A and B are shown apart, each in its own frame.
Chain A
């Protein structure tokens, strides 16, 4: 089959690889009908997340048709079923899964020992991601083996298109969790840093969860235009002062809820001198991530507020103002998304027509154009916001 394979920094190729095979009775194989490129894939593309290996198949946002199952599906999945695959692999039976903490499932990381060493305790296995999370082959491919498939799937009805349900596997629940963990009150101002695909889903989620006002920050005009369409007041940080505008919008008190949908690769710009220093430290490996957004959120957030972090961080950050954070009584919530925790509710909302996540797709191409599309998405060329690949 063909698949997008990681060969090193900025080197992703559309290779011919052997087909995946069932290894375990709980495995299933799907024929991928649609998959997407995620902002997290860019961190891997740039080699900012440790423990990638040449030959790793990329992709963790995918759906398709079940073509083969192992012997232990317990009636939950059969050939011909149409499923979206959550990017966090979950066993469904461990203590964490029972609590709904699917992204920290205790059993699905097949490199548990390595993760125990690096993180203290293991987290769940993830598709198309680093070997620290199991090194499972990803879904930017024609076929995908889904481990723990009897639990790791979301069945979707034929009445909805691929484009409407594909993002249930990652960015929609990610945006939703980011907003939900803010415990939004009717009086709240929710601010979202980053208007990439995750930011866009977060903005819609905050609206659907009843926020008084949603503010979105980025510097890319077309992304800001999409944020505004979703009901956000926008701030272009290259032209306006984030701090001043947020104070204006909140009577000088600061927003109650702040969400980082940017992650470790915050833009480097002259207007934000700390980002230059971060970049220099990254180059000489004194720091792995650029946490400009974290610093800004801690500074602007209203005392007693909540900081929610769906944006991915990979390793070490420097100069986090812990003093202000502590003294302002801020609450931090973060994590890879517990996808299955939210998807029944979100699928219902899509079926009811409350929201149609396909609004975010700007490019649809074949798999062989994948390597080029990584660059188009990374460089925001051709007004690109979200790329869907059709294997």
Chain B
């Protein structure tokens, strides 16, 4: 839907000289990096499943790794979207699954078990980051339920709601009776002159 080549700004429109403080916080940036990380990892798992299983000594589990790749991509896309929290939560669930799967590869008879241990350490590190990002996000984005204000004194009508309503309903009633007396109701257009 974008037509970048057509987008114009004029000569004398203001131009940015110096950038100031941003609405994007450090936890938002962390979530964004984790989102891209998910997508990159997902793509590798999906298209190079054999290499992954080979390195971890998990031959035969290629389809599982591909499925995990799709899962990574999906949670990455979610994490990059406005619903970061859902994305981060699905990342954490994914981390748990990854750890459980890698644990099966840390057997004495697996010659590649050192690689699996390294992978597991890495997943554990990323899981920590996921928790940090989710925690920061939850604290910043959840409405504080306890300290809600009530605006029950803010009617906006100087004369109060009921008086304003009564005046308005009388005016409308009069308008309708007079238009009935004048003959068939005029067609309403909701245009400039309808009220």
State whether B17 touches A15 (Cβ < 8 A).
Answer: yes
Report B125 CB to chain A, min CB distance, Å.
Answer: 26
Q: Which of A23-46 touch B at CB < 8 Å?
A: 23, 45-46
Is A328 close to B, CB under 8 A?
A: no
Is B8 close to A, CB under 8 A?
A: yes
State whether B14 touches A208 (Cβ < 8 A).
Answer: no
- A residues near B78, Cβ cutoff 8 Å: 283
Report B40 CB to chain A, min CB distance, Å.
Answer: 18
State whether A16 touches B17 (Cβ < 8 A).
Answer: yes
State whether B16 touches A180 (Cβ < 8 A).
Answer: no
- B residues near A51, Cβ cutoff 8 Å: 1-3, 7
- B residues near A345, Cβ cutoff 8 Å: 195
Q: What are 5 contact pairs spanning A and B, CB under 8 A?
A: A17-B16, A135-B9, A225-B150, A229-B151, A383-B147
CB nearest neighbor in B for A207: B165
CB nearest neighbor in A for B11: A23
- B residues near A229, Cβ cutoff 8 Å: 151-156, 161
Docked complex Cα distance between A74 and B39 (Å): 59
Taking Cβ atoms with an 8 Å cutoff, the residues of B that contact A are 1-4, 6-24, 28, 77-78, 81-83, 140-144, 147-159, 161-162, 164-165, 168-169, 171-173, 176, 188, 190-192, 194-195
State whether A20 touches B14 (Cβ < 8 A).
Answer: yes
- B residues near A385, Cβ cutoff 8 Å: 151
- B residues near A19, Cβ cutoff 8 Å: 14
State whether A371 touches B150 (Cβ < 8 A).
Answer: no
Report B97 CB to chain A, min CB distance, Å.
Answer: 20
CB nearest neighbor in A for B168: A210
| Interface size range on A against B | 35 or more
Report A171 CB to chain B, min CB distance, Å.
Answer: 12
State whether A183 touches B2 (Cβ < 8 A).
Answer: no
- A residues near B24, Cβ cutoff 8 Å: 10-11
- 10 tightest A-B contacts by CB? A210-B172, A371-B23, A359-B156, A226-B151, A100-B192, A383-B149, A231-B161, A14-B20, A50-B1, A17-B14
Docked complex Cα distance between A315 and B1 (Å): 9
Q: Given A13-B21, A354-B164, A380-B143, is A222 in contact with B148 using a C-beta cutoff of 8 Å?
A: yes
Q: Which of A50-85 touch B at CB < 8 Å?
A: 50-51, 53, 55, 57
Is A204 close to B, CB under 8 A?
A: yes
